[in-house]
Copies of this chain bind each other. A is one copy, B any other.
Amino acid sequence: MYDGIVQELIDELGRLPGIGPKSAQRIAFHILQTPTFDVSRLSQLLGEVRERVKFCEICGNVSEQERCAICRDPRRNPEIICVVEDAKDVSAIERTREFRGLYHVLGGAISPIGGVGPDDLRIAQLMQRLADGTVQEVILATNPNLEGEATAAYLSRLLTTMQITVSRLASGLPVGGDLEYADEVTLGRAFEGRRRL
């Protein structure tokens, strides 16, 4: 235990995901003892980030404007939509440079145990985007785990009646894993080898 504010800082840092008490202490002392670390910059960013960041009104990706940089980009192919669970997955796929279409962020996956049903996800918004007939293909890029597969199966059934090609990322992604931790090459290959459902 430390005097006042040092312990408070350690406690607050310890509330962040993946930061245990020892890491929190190490970070707090780094901040205290490293004059070159620009603590005011981090403090300011933390203070502003929630106010400045919105979620794209079209795809649900993070954005500082009403529409995200990808939805605003006229060079992106509006005929293909890649459906992902989370905004972090958009970033992971963008790093592969394999995909030039648009995205749709569901905001999670169907999970009966976690109490997440289809109505808790941005599925109605997806159906709305598909209604005008522009989109020719939907790639289901939910995580290759139980919840992600269930969500892909649900969406696949929902889309059978429409004139849209539905595909799923190729296996090659380690099953049971998290899409956001895949390396660029594996994720790129999974895109190339995507199979029709």
| A88 in contact with B48 given A3-B63, A42-B13 (CB within 8 Å) | no
- Chain A interface SS verdict (over half): helix
Say yes or no: B8 contacts A45, CB within 8 Å.
yes
Q: Which of A20-28, A74-82, A139-147, A164-172 touches B?
A: A20-28
| Identical chains in the assembly | 2
Query: Which B residues touch A16, using CB under 8 A?
Result: 27, 30-31
Kindly identify, within residues 68 to 100 of chain A, every residue whose CB is under 8 Å from any CB belonging to chain B: 68-69, 86-88, 91, 94-95
Q: With A17-B26, A27-B18 given, is the CB distance from A32 to B5 under 8 Å?
A: no
Chain A residues near B (Cβ < 8 Å)? 1-6, 8-9, 12-13, 15-19, 22-23, 25-32, 37-50, 52-53, 62-65, 68-69, 86-88, 91, 94-95, 180-181
